[in-house]
Amino acid sequence: MNFRIRPLGIAARAPVSRLFSTGRQLSSTTADKFYVTQPIFYVNSVPHIGHFYTIVLADTIKRYAELQGKRTKLSAGTDEHGLKIQQAAERAAKDPLEFCTQFSDRFRDLMKASNAGITDFIRTTDTNHYQAVAHFWKVLVDRGFIYKGEHSGWYAVSDEAFYTEGQVEERVDASTGARGMFAIESGQPVEWVSEVNYKFKLAEFRDRLIEWVEGNPGVIYPEIRRNEVLGWLKSGLEDLSVSRPRSRLQWGIPVPEDPDHTIYVWVDALVNYATVDGYPWTAKPEFFPPDVQVVGKDILRFHAVYWPALLMAAGLPLPRRILAHAHWTMGSQKMSKSKGNVVDPFEAIQRYGVDPIRYFIIRNGGIANDGDYSSEEVLVRYKKDLVSRLGNLASRCLSDRLAAKLASFSVVSQQQVEQANERDATLRAMLVDLPAKVKTQFDLGEFGRGMALIFDATDAANKHVTSNEPWNIVQKDDPESEARLQVVLFYSLEAVRIAAIMLQPVIPEKAGLLLDHLAIDKADRKWSDTQFGAGWKNTTGGNINRPRESIAQLFPKIS
């Protein structure tokens, strides 16, 4: 018997143009390179589950781009300068750099524990970054966008941001009971500051920024954030204070040729996205500008207003897309140390395993709307989706009872599948349509919605197994039953294969192991292989289900 599973050839692989569809989507560029950025994290405290979300979301985008055959760059790092860090180090009575290193290492550890494929980890205290920022500053000066002026306003150390009169309010601090001034947007305390600063001519860029946002639908996603940005721009822009007096802020990069001033930490931080690609460039940058910049909604203004304006001023290209995600709450409350509702991602990874927690965070995490974290929900998702829907489907079609037939699982010819009897029609249509539907969601960055579609398909496949009862067919010993069994097995194996390929960006380890069970060649795990019937060409029936680890071990019980 020929043990080879032949490709069904129902449709040739999707043409390249379809795979890289047009429009501002995650896979929009036809270039073979893809650059994803994470925000760089403040080092004044340890990582929490919100940081983990940003990390996994960015990593998922990167892995998705790789499935499309792209060479990728994923940058990450730590934001180490500024008053916030200076004060935190002072409070801890530590040397600032030592203080930063301690926390920076924790973030680096988290990236590793999260299985995030970071290609560049930057610390803003790195020498090459210092040089990049100084260069960037000089370019802005040379191009006439920086001037010195008197600045008065409200400053929130926590946000490292100035606010205008209209952006602050007087109220009682819930945690201390003291009356004071607070930023309305972030809720952080502000202090009145009046000083001589360098300013960036931000106001000049208002019209060009509006044009950029309006002329590039999807450049800021989701829509609610795009509208927020347009609202800010349309209500007017003031020039931006881009330095603090050295007397107040020593922990930062000095203004070139004026050491009495320190460069504003946000300018310093934003330049990291260029530093990691070798800025200042002598030749063409390798990856810049970023294809997707992942940011939390709280730092949208910096990325969607200040950053593009700074780039325009420096004569550099703008990011292709800013994906602003929502936040994680717990008990529907903002996570905060004082409320004691901060989730430690290391503990979560330890407890559930990296892929189950990655799955939960992406499945339940919001792009437009906040997600609420609860341990119960993590388990519900794990048991319902990974164990019962996917794991169950896989173990049913790879069961011992069918093992002998799997070894001879062979020729499911195009003809056999095309003559699909009515009992296969629903599942077949679903599997044929699934990749394009999932892609639409993934391209937007809506991986949670994409996951939902994939698991709906596993439901349909499970139903198909239940109603076709392969364990009964296998008892019969006639050629017709034999042929039918092959088709039934094919459908469930095909559903697992397609699902597993698409799940790789989110649960790379588990999806990879599942594909190992199916003996799918490593070269046949790309997005183009999600096409119905494609991708079995290098598989032999005798190899299926060979891995030592059983499906039950793949999705073990956790509590």
Q: Which of 155, 304, 328 is nearest to 228 (CA)?
A: 304
Kindly tell me which residue out of 290, 296, 445, 505 binds ligand MSP, with binding defined by CB under 6 A: 296
Which residue's beta carbon is nearest to the bound ligand MSP? Answer: 296
Task: Compute the least distance from the CB of residue 84 to ligand MSP, in Å.
Answer: 9
Task: Quote the CA–CA distance of 556 and 261 in Å, as a whole number.
Answer: 57
Kindly tell me which residue out of 7, 24, 35, 53 binds ligand MSP, with binding defined by CB under 6 A: 53
Q: Is 335 in the site for ligand MSP (CB under 6 A)?
A: yes
Task: Compute the least distance from the CB of residue 481 to ligand MSP, in Å.
Answer: 54
Task: Compute the least distance from the CB of residue 266 to ligand MSP, in Å.
Answer: 7
C-alpha distances in Å from residue 128, one per residue of 118, 275, 432, 458, 544? 19, 7, 49, 49, 50
User: Angle at Cα 307 formed by Cα 306 and Cα 308, nearest 5°?
Assistant: 100
Q: Is 79 in the site for ligand MSP (CB under 6 A)?
A: yes
**All residues at 6 or more sequence positions from 192 whose CB lies less than 8 Å from its CB, including other chains:** 152, 153, 154, 155, 181
Shorter beta-carbon distance to ligand MSP: residue 7 or 371: 371
Amino acid at 81: H
Q: Is 253 in the site for ligand MSP (CB under 6 A)?
A: no
- DSSP one-letter string for 363-391: HH--SSS-EEE-HHHHHHHIIIIIIIIII
Task: Quote the CA–CA distance of 188 and 168 in Å, as a whole number.
Answer: 9
Task: Compute the least distance from the CB of residue 264 to ligand MSP, in Å.
Answer: 12
> 């047009």: which residue's tokens?
22
Q: Is 430 in the site for ligand MSP (CB under 6 A)?
A: no
Restricted to residues 33-52, the positions that interact with ligand MSP (CB under 6 A) are 39-42, 50-51
Shorter beta-carbon distance to ligand MSP: residue 327 or 437: 327
Shorter beta-carbon distance to ligand MSP: residue 122 or 393: 122
Q: Take residue 459 and report the two structure tokens written for it.
A: 């439901």
Q: Is 77 in the site for ligand MSP (CB under 6 A)?
A: no
Q: Is 270 in the site for ligand MSP (CB under 6 A)?
A: yes
Shorter beta-carbon distance to ligand MSP: residue 104 or 543: 104
By CB under 6 A, how many residues form the interface with ligand MSP? 19
Kindly tell me which residue out of 97, 193, 299, 407 binds ligand MSP, with binding defined by CB under 6 A: 299
Q: Is 57 in the site for ligand MSP (CB under 6 A)?
A: no
Task: Quote the CA–CA distance of 403 and 493 in Å, as a whole number.
Answer: 13
Task: Compute the least distance from the CB of residue 296 to ligand MSP, in Å.
Answer: 1
Q: Which of 93, 98, 103, 101 is nearest to 44 (CA)?
A: 103
Q: How many CB atoms lie within 10 A of CB 260?
A: 11
Contact status, residue 277 vs residue 287, Cβ threshold 8 Å: yes
Contact status, residue 63 vs residue 512, Cβ threshold 8 Å: no
Q: Is 54 in the site for ligand MSP (CB under 6 A)?
A: yes
Q: Is 327 in the site for ligand MSP (CB under 6 A)?
A: yes
Helix-then-strand count for the chain, H and E:
23, 19
Question: Interface with ligand MSP by CB under 6 A: which residues?
Answer: 39-42, 50-51, 53-54, 79, 269-270, 272, 295-296, 298-299, 327-328, 335
